Every structure is written in C-alpha cells, then in structure tokens.
Structure 1
C-alpha cells in the first residue's frame, strides 16, 4: 500500500508539473508573438538571412573546404546558425525566468525549475515547427535516406540537453548576481566565435583547436552537419560525442540549480 501511495503521489506531481509547463509555454509563445506576422517562423527567418550574408562574404573563400561548392558552404553555415541561434535564444530567455517570476513564487508554492524549462520547451516547439522541417528536407535531399532524417533527432536532443543545463545554471546564478546578463552576452559571443559556424574547422590551428574542443556546441554542429550534408550513414561516434556533451552539461546545470534553489526565496 505504501508503494502504491508513493507511486500515486509521484504521478500527481508529474501531472501537475506537465500541466503547469503547458500553461507557461503557451503564455510565453503568446506574449512573444502577439501581433507578429511570421510568428514562430521568425526562428527560421533569422538564420536564413544570416546564412545569405555569410555566404555573400565568405562563400567564395571557404567553398574549397566544402568540395568547391558554395551551396555546401551555404548549407553548412545554415546548420551552424541553427544551433547557435537556438542555444543563445533559449538560454538568454531562461536566464531571468526565475527572477521575473519571483513575485509569483512568493505567493504560490510552485516547482522553481519549471520556469527555465518552460523557456526551453517554448523554443523547442518553435524549432520543431519552423526550422526542423527544413533541416529534414535538406537531409533527405542530400542523403536520400530516411535513416539520416530520423538520426537528426540525436544532435537536436543533444542541443536541447546542453541548452537546458546552461539554462538551469544561468537562471540560478542570476538570482545571486544581477549583473550576469551583461557577462553572459560576452560568454555567448565567445561560444559563437569558437563554434565552426561561418568558417570551416579545418582552418583552425591545431594548438587552438584543442581549446575550441571545450565548446559544448562543437560536437553538436559536427554531428548535425555530418548527418545533414555528407550523404553517408550517420557517424555514431559524432552522435555519441554530442549526446555525452549534452548529458554532462545538463547534469552540471541541474546539480547547481538543485543545490542553490533553497536560497532563492530569500533573494526574490
């Protein structure tokens, strides 16, 4: 009977969390795109514009690293931009999610973690509706294989795990350090610059590349490009590296969030 009651209590908590998450995600999307013409498709429009800009400036220079094909460079730049845009957008929005809901938390007992998670979930929905179909189409055209299309799930999952872990970390830190947004802008810029987005990884000197390997987005970008652009079967080593990066960052972020959250109410 004890086991049954415990299981029932756990299920009620999960159900309550999912219902609250659904309400917050819907609210985030409605507020974000109220009066917007393109709505969630702005998440696709931005990387498309940036891809065109990078291609016009660097396409001819770096095409030799992509089988002398400017089109391949265009696709490579787009996949990189998709990753960095999702990461920077979702984590930046999650950064102040706990603090901005401080008044609500002081009135109602709610699971604090639902606020950064809701920001990630809203961006995942936006990604799946706006960007993912185009990635899937690109992959199928290049590989002619449904296996590669299905394999897209793994680097995307790794991206969500990394973003969630960082969101837990920065949303918790912001409770203690209100200057964090200014510093985090610099961190995102460093991550963007150290990710092989508009430049091929092959041009990076070996002595520098070992430091760039610490960037958690690099294996995700490499895996996504291999699945999308190579036309060959998915590289399991790259997929494993991307997922391992995601699990490590998520574990680190959640651990810090869990250890610090008992101090939140005194500061909100």
Structure 2
C-alpha cells in the first residue's frame, strides 16, 4: 500500500505539472470554465428559471455553478482516465506496475484541483446560506459519491479503450447526454414526470441535487438524497472495477 501511495503521488504530480507548466493561474484554470458558463447561463436563462429558486437571480447563479462544477469534474476526470492505460502502454511493457493506478491517478489529479478550487468556494457559499457547520461538512458526502462514480466510469472506459480505439468519439456523445439530462442549467422541477423516471438513472442528477440542497438551503442535509448518491457511486465503482479486473489479463497483448 505504501508503494502504491508513492506511485500515485508521482503520477498525480506529473499530471498536474505537465498540464499547468508555464500557466499563470495553474490549477485555478479549472474554475474559469464553470464561472464563464455560469455567467452565460444566467444571461440566457436566469430570468426564466429564477422563479424556481425563490425568485432570486443570485440563487440561480449559485445553482448553475454547482451543477457545472459537478459535470466539469465528471467530464475532465473520466475523459482523462479513458486514455490513461493506453497512453502508458510503453511504460507497462517495461516495468511491472499496477495497471489500475493510471485511471485512478487521473481522477486523483482532478480531486486535487477541485479541493483547492471549487470546494472551498462551495464551503463558503454553504456557510453563508446555512450558517451551519454540519452542512459545510456534509458537502464531502456528495463529493465522495461523485469521486466513486468517476472512478468507476474511469475504470470502465480505460479498459474499453484498450479494445476499441474509436471510444473517445462515442464517449463525447455519452458525456453530452449525461450533461443535458442532468439539472445543470435548469431546475429538476420543470422535467415532466414521465421523463423524470428515466433521468433518475443518471447518477449525476442525485449528486447535483444533493449538493444544491446542502449548499443553498438553510435546512439540514437530506440524508435520503445523499444516500441515493452514495449508493449509485458504490454500484458504478463496483461495476467498473469488476470489468477492469476481468479484462486486465488481455491488456498487454494490445498495448
């Protein structure tokens, strides 16, 4: 476990240094996209959807920002994990390493970005709205669910990419479908009940709704929402890990 931890640290450091070498803002660039998109969504939809957030444009701004940081974290971490095994194929052919460390390192790099960027901002917003340390601490639970989902999907897509090199083009469509079916820029209340049952299959929906409930209301955390998010994360992580381990023995012939 100590060697695994040290290797993970090396890979995450390499990933972040390569990604932000010579960058002025460094990891804080990860905040720029959701902030710009929040401004854009507010300009287009703010007046229309503000009524679902207490007739408050600032409430809509914060709700849109919360949804965007979730979908951006998911898109970045899983897309980077997708190619991680194949990209490091030459290294795996020379040195015996735990293959699963590569998709995990991509998710871990994004966890670091989130922890120094969006998470402190969400914590401040939560404290302003709830004035309750319980709500601030409870932010970690939907974030943990998001990490579990991303790690499970990362295992799955990184394994599939070894066999199907056209996967990135298809996965872009998958991410778009998950984004549009998640209540990112629109409130979940406007979705028709007939459609909502299908959108409920989207694991990101419960995570976004849980984060919003914790951060933007004065009420105590809804443990039902948190439980659903964590359960989805555990199921997806288990499925992704099972598939990764089942196919791992065939990787070296194709790398």
TM-score with structure 1 length normalisation? 0.95
Task: Tell me how far apart the structure 1 counterparts of residues 194 and 117 of structure 2 sit (CA, whole Å).
Answer: 38
Answer yes or no: is 1:131 the counterpart of 2:118: yes
Q: CA deviation at 1:266?
A: 0.3
Deviations 1:51-89 (A, max 9, x none): 010000000000111111111111100000010000000
Answer yes or no: is 1:172 the counterpart of 2:186: no
Task: Tell me how far apart the structure 2 counterparts of residues 134 and 202 of structure 1 sit (CA, whole Å).
Answer: 26
Q: CA deviation at 1:45?
A: 1.4
Matches within 5 A, 1:22-171: 22-171=9-158
Task: Tell me how far apart the structure 2 counterparts of residues 156 and 45 of structure 1 sit (CA, whole Å).
Answer: 20
Answer yes or no: is 1:217 the counterpart of 2:209: no
Equivalent of 2:213 in 226, 248, 253:
226
Task: Tell me how far apart the structure 2 counterparts of residues 79 and 63 of structure 1 sit (CA, whole Å).
Answer: 15
Larger Rg: 1
Q: CA deviation at 1:43?
A: 1.0
Deviations 1:156-190 (A, max 9, x none): 00000000000000000000000000000000000
Answer yes or no: is 1:241 the counterpart of 2:228: yes
**Corresponding residue number in structure 2 for 1:250:** 237
Q: Give the 3-state SS of the residue equivalent to 2:62 in structure 1.
A: helix
Consecutive unaligned residues of structure 1, counting only runs of 5 or more, are 1-13
Q: CA deviation at 1:120?
A: 0.5
Task: Tell me how far apart the structure 1 counterparts of residues 83 and 39 of structure 2 sit (CA, whole Å).
Answer: 32
TM-score with structure 2 length normalisation? 0.99
Q: CA deviation at 1:265?
A: 0.2
Q: CA deviation at 1:117?
A: 0.3
| Matched length | 255
**Corresponding residue number in structure 2 for 1:262:** 249
Answer yes or no: is 1:183 the counterpart of 2:170: yes
Deviations 1:124-182 (A, max 9, x none): 00100111110000000000011100000000000000000000000000000000000
Q: Which 4+ residue blocks in structure 1 deviate beyond 6 angstroms? A: none
Give the root-mean-square deviation of aligned CA atoms.
Answer: 0.5
Task: Tell me how far apart the structure 2 counterparts of residues 144 and 124 of structure 1 sit (CA, whole Å).
Answer: 26
Task: Tell me how far apart the structure 1 counterparts of residues 118 and 54 of structure 2 sit (CA, whole Å).
Answer: 25
Q: CA deviation at 1:44?
A: 1.1
Q: Give the 3-state SS of the residue equivalent to 1:265 in structure 2.
A: coil
